[in-house]
Amino acid sequence: MNKYKHLSLEEREKLVAFKEAGLSLRDIAKRLSRSHSSLVRELKRNKTGAGKRSREYLIFRYIPCRAHQKAVKRGVKQRAKAPLKETLIWLYVREHLRKLFNWTPEEISGRLPKIHPGKSICTETIYQYIYSKAGKKYKLWECYLIPEEKG
């Protein structure tokens, strides 16, 4: 099974050069050792609007350096994690870590599915959030006591 690899800037430039030379996408795909459908997706996903805008038309062009920037930006955005899956879980964790409840991450992850059926979160995820930049912003690390200190 082949492992997917993103197009490089060099491959994007070759794609445009071959396309301008009049080669078909299937021929270009063979030369780049890629699937032709990957190239179709690439052209469709990363085209840039250029030229005059009017009601009748908008000229779209594929510019390799801009396409590469868009792809990199999309990849970074895609890998950005939402804090604790969703708002309900995020609020639940913050509320129960604070002084009022003062629960440990183990207690929170254990009780969440009972209070909100179908929702769950791993204890380790809560710990990672507590010590993350966002958790430090809210000083969550000060809000809970280690189980041995509770007794």
- Is the pLDDT score of 59 beyond 80? no
pLDDT recorded at residue 28: 95
Q: What is the mean pLDDT of the chain?
A: 81
User: Does 56 score more than 70 pLDDT?
Assistant: no
The answer on pLDDT for 146 being more than 60 is: no
Answer yes or no: are the C-beta atoms of 64 and 15 closer than 8 Å: yes
DSSP assignment string, 116-129: STT----HHHHHHH
Q: d(Cα 105, Cα 124) in Å, to the nearest integer?
A: 8
Q: What is the pLDDT of residues 104-134, one digit of tens each?
A: 899 999 999 999 999 888 899 888 888 887 7
The answer to pTM > 0.75 is no
Q: Which residues, at least 6 apart from 34, have a Cβ–Cβ distance to it below 8 Å?
A: 7, 11
Q: Which range among 5-9, 50-54, 63-67 shows the weakest confidence by mean pLDDT?
A: 50-54
Q: Is the pLDDT of residue 13 over 90?
A: yes
Task: Say if residue 150's pLDDT is above 70.
Answer: no
**pLDDT 10s digits, 72-101:** 888 877 766 666 778 888 889 888 888 677
Report pLDDT for 141: 66
